[in-house]
Structure 1
Amino acid sequence: MASNRGSRVFLWVALAGGAFFLFVAAIFVLVYVSVRADDHAQFTGFGDRIAVVDLEGVIVDPKSVVAQLKKYGDDSSIKAIILHINSPGGGAAASEEIYREVRRVRDEKHKRIVASIETVGASGAYYVASATNKIYANEASIVGSIGVIAEWYNYADLLKWAKLKEITMKAGEFKDTGSPTRDMTPAEKAYMQALIDDMHSQFIHNVATGRKVKDEDIRPIADGRVWTGRQALPMKLIDQIADFQATVADTAKSVGISGEPTLVTPERERKSLLDLMFGDVSDLIPDRAKLMQTNVGFYYLWK
C-alpha cells in the first residue's frame, strides 16, 4: 500500500512538473515568434523607409544613439531619419558626440534628418535637435534651456560633525578643484566659471551653426530658460508645430515618399526567459544618471 501511494505521488509530481515545463516553453515560443515577427516587419519594403531613433531620458552614454544614426545614415534604402526626442539633456561631451553624428548624416551623407520633440527637448537634447534639417514640436513641448550647469554635493560640515578629516596630497594648485570635502577658493571658482563659460559659448555657436543663424541671434536667449513649443516657434527655435504622426507625414512628403512610409526602428532588446518569469530587475542596478551629482561634471541638462 505504501509503495503504491508513493508511486501515485511521484506520478502526480512528474505530471505537474511536465505541465509547468510545457507552459513555460509555450510562453517562450510565443514571445520568440512575436519578437521575430516584429523584427521582420521592421525591414519590409524597399525605397519607402524612414528610420526612427529614440533619444530618451538623461543623455549619459551616446554610443547606442550614435551607432543607430551611423547605421541608418549609411543605409541607402533609408530615405530619412526621425530623431524622436524626449530628454532634458545630459552630459556635455555625450550631447556633443550625438550632435556631431547628426551633422555628419545631414551634411556629409546628405540624408534628411529631422527632430520630433515629444514632451521635453531641452538643453543637450535641444543641442542635438539643432543639428537636424528641421525641428518639430508639440505646442506644449518644453524646448530650449541653452546653458551649462555643474553641481555636486559638499559634505565638509558633515565630516567636521563626524570628526573625520580628509587627507589630500597633490601636485598642482587646481588638481582637487571641486573637492566635496572643502569650500572652493576664489581662484578655483574663477577657474571653474571659465570652463563653464567656454562650454556655453560652444553650445551657442553649435546651435547657431545647426540652425544656420548667427551666434548673436542665439546669445540673447541662451540664458537657461525653456519655452513651450508655441513660444519657441516665433523665436525660430523650432520650425513647425506637429506631433509625431504629422512629422512622419511631412518628412515622407519632403523626401518624395507617396503614401504611408515603412517606419524602421532598432531591434528591441531581447528578453531572457528569466526576465519574462521574474520581471525586470534593472531598478536594482544603480542609475548612472542618478549618480552624476556625486561627481564634478559639466552638463547640458535642464532641471
Structure 2
Amino acid sequence: MVKKFLQGILTFLGVIFLFFIIVFFIGILLLLRGEPTLSTGPKIGIVEIKGLITDADKTLRVIRNYERNDHVKAVVVRIDSPGGAVGASQEIYLALKELAQKKTVVASMGSVAASGGLYVALGAQKIVAAPGTMTGSIGVMIQVPNVSKLLEKVGIETTILKSGPYKDTGSMFRPLREDEKKVLYQTIKDVYQQFVEAIATSRGLNPEEIKKFADGRVFTGKKAKEYGLVDELGNFNDAIYLAAKLAGIKERPQLVYLQKERFWWRYLFEENLAENLAVIFAPLYLLKWQ
C-alpha cells in the first residue's frame, strides 16, 4: 500500500515536472516568434482596440513595447470600438500622444470608432476612416438605475449610513435628488470639456466649432472628414501605407501584432501563481486518487 502511494506521488511529481518543461519550451518558442526585437528591418507595430474600452493596462503594455523597440518605426492603432470608460480611453489617448512625439502613429477606424474610440484616435498624428465608419458620439453620459419602486412592491427596504450627503449618489435604491443631479451634471460638463479640448488640440479646431457637432450624434467617416476629425478616407491597408510613408519606410514593412499568446504566460506565472497551479493540477490529482 505504501509502495503504491509512493509510486503515485512520484508519478504526480513527474507530471508536474513534465508540464513545466513543456510550458517552458512553448514559452520560449512564443517569445522567439512574437518578440519584434529579435529580428531586424523596419516594422510597423499594430495596436488593436476592439469592443468596449474598460481597461487600458494591456494596451499600455503593448504601446510601451513598441516605444522601446528601435525596429518599430511606426504604429497603427486599429480601432473597432463604440467607446467605454472615460479614464481608460484617456489613458490610451495620452500614451499614444506621447508615443507620437517619438514615432509615427496613425489611427485606423474600423466599423465603429465612436465616443471613447474616437478619443483614443485623437492621440495619433493622422486618422484614417472608411466612408461608412460610424464615429462621433462626442459626449458624456451617466446612467443611474432606480429599482426603488420594485423593492417597494416586494416589501424590501434599505438603510443607508453615509459620511456625507453625496456619498450614496447614484444608489439604485432611491431616485436622485435635484441637488445630486446638479452635482453629476457638473462632472459631465467637466469631462465633456476635456473631450472637446482633446479634439481641439489634436485636430487644430476651434472649440466653439467642435461643439456644433459634439452633441452626442453619431456620423459617418465621410462626415467626420468634413468636420476635420479624419485626415483620409480609406481602409486598414491605406493606414499602413500612410504610416510607412510618414515614417520614411521605403520597402514593404513587416507588421508586428500584439502577442496574444503571451498573456496566458503572464497569467500563469505572474498573477496568482499558487491559485492557478491549484486549478490546473487539482483535476489531475483527483483523477489519480479517486
Unaligned stretches of 5+ residues in structure 1: 1-24, 273-303
**1:110-129 equivalence runs, <5 A:** 110-129=102-121
Unaligned stretches of 5+ residues in structure 2: 1-18, 266-290
Assess if the C-alpha contact under 8 Å between 2:36 and 2:69 holds in 1: no
Secondary structure in 2 matching 1:86: strand
Assess if the C-alpha contact under 8 Å between 1:159 and 1:165 holds in 2: yes
Q: 1:258 aligns with which of 232, 250, 258?
A: 250
Q: 2:128 aligns with which of 130, 136, 140?
A: 136
Assess if the C-alpha contact under 8 Å between 2:34 and 2:259 holds in 1: no
**1:201-240 equivalence runs, <5 A:** 201-240=193-232
Secondary structure in 1 matching 2:100: helix
Assess if the C-alpha contact under 8 Å between 1:117 and 1:135 holds in 2: yes
Counterparts of 1:268 and 1:178, CA distance in 2: 37
Q: 1:39 aligns with which of 33, 39, 53?
A: 33
Assess if the C-alpha contact under 8 Å between 2:144 and 2:172 holds in 1: yes
Equivalenced residues, count: 243
1:84 corresponds to:
78
2:279 corresponds to:
none
Counterparts of 2:79 and 2:158, CA distance in 1: 43
The structure that is helix-richer by fraction is 2
2:8 corresponds to:
none
Q: Which amino acid aligns with 1:53?
A: V
- Cα distance 1:44–1:253, how it changes in 2: closer, same or farther (>3 A)? farther
- Cα distance 1:187–1:40, how it changes in 2: closer, same or farther (>3 A)? closer
Q: TM-score, normalised by structure 1?
A: 0.74
What RMSD, in angstroms, separates the aligned Cα atoms of the two structures? Answer: 2.4
Q: Does 1:99 align with 2:93?
A: yes
Q: 2:165 aligns with which of 173, 177, 187?
A: 173
**Cα deviation per residue 1:200-231 (whole Å; 9 max; x = unaligned)?**
01111112112232322312111011111112
**Cα deviation per residue 1:111-148 (whole Å; 9 max; x = unaligned)?**
11110001111101101101210000111111111100
Counterparts of 1:244 and 1:196, CA distance in 2: 33
Higher relative contact order (CA 8 A, sep 6+): 1
Q: Does 1:66 align with 2:60?
A: yes
Q: 1:189 aligns with which of 164, 181, 186?
A: 181
Assess if the C-alpha contact under 8 Å between 1:44 and 1:262 holds in 2: no
**Cα deviation per residue 1:39-90 (whole Å; 9 max; x = unaligned)?**
2596675241100010111011100111111221222221100001000111
